[in-house]
A and B are shown apart, each in its own frame.
Chain A
Amino acid sequence: GESVGLHLPTLSVQEGDNSIINCAYSNSASDYFIWYKQESGKGPQFIIDIRSNMDKRQGQRVTVLLNKTVKHLSLQIAATQPGDSAVYFCAENMNDYKLSFGAGTTVTVRA
């Protein structure tokens, strides 16, 4: 499943499929980007980050892609599992400390 375009608030994906969550950021001067996962009743949990001198970074089952030309960030989740159901936020780091968050995408994994 994929949230296409600049941003879609919801994404439904079949268990086992790959998920792609997209995010457009606003400040071309931002040099650090982070994806957070927020489960119900919990605070945002760090997933993966990437700096502006990189185009791609991989973690465990997750990959973040950065396209600075169009100010676009994406999070790919491989083999989506029920535990991946959550709200996913992208955030850009401005001025070294102040995080600016996107609107969030709610991912629902279908069994």
Chain B
Amino acid sequence: EAGVTQFPSHSVIEKGQTVTLRCDPISGHDNLYWYRRVMGKEIKFLLHFVKESKQDESGMPNNRFLAERTGGTYSTLKVQPAELEDSGVYFCASSLRRTSDTQYFGPGTRLTVL
């Protein structure tokens, strides 16, 4: 069974540019989560999808971040325009059920904003 995959693995962009990160969850997992870790700090929750619906986006830093999950399969996280403080590692995770089920993480996308 394939795990959670993320693309790209690394992205280097300049301040003000746009970047789109993609996550493919484990097949059959309805729940998809985005997290990020900035500057060696804790991994922080960004948002949660159940199928194509956003259940909780309380962790999204501001309106420069837009997440979508069209058709309830893969998800994208767009940052527009990117700022220096957006640099970090963005993780995607998926789980089968919502209630206290194991979340499986992807390898992450390392974003560097110059």
How far is it, in angstroms, between the C-alpha of A89 and the C-alpha of B91 when the chains are bound? 14
> Which A residues, 41 to 72, have Cβ-Cβ distances below 8 Å to chain B?
41-46, 49, 51
List residues of chain B with CB within 8 A of the CB of A98: 45, 48, 56, 59
Is the CB–CB distance between A93 and B100 below 8 Å?
Answer: yes
**Is B62 an interface residue when CB atoms closer than 8 A count as contact?**
no
How far is it, in angstroms, between the C-alpha of A97 and the C-alpha of B31 when the chains are bound? 9
Known: A32-B100, A43-B105, A51-B100. A97 touches B43 (CB 8 A): no
Is the CB–CB distance between B42 and A45 below 8 Å?
Answer: no
Interface size counted on chain B using CB atoms at 8 A: 27
Smallest CB gap from B59: residue in A:
A98
Known: A43-B4, A101-B44. A31 touches B106 (CB 8 A): no
Question: Could you jot down 14 A-B contacts, CB within 8 Å?
Answer: A32-B100, A43-B105, A43-B108, A44-B105, A45-B105, A96-B98, A96-B99, A97-B48, A97-B98, A97-B99, A99-B43, A100-B45, A101-B43, A103-B42
Q: B interface vs A, CB < 8 Å? A: 4, 6, 31, 33, 35, 41-45, 48, 55-56, 59, 91, 93, 95, 98-100, 102-108
What 7 pairs across the A-B complex have the smallest Cβ distances?
A: A43-B105, A101-B43, A32-B100, A44-B105, A43-B107, A101-B42, A98-B45
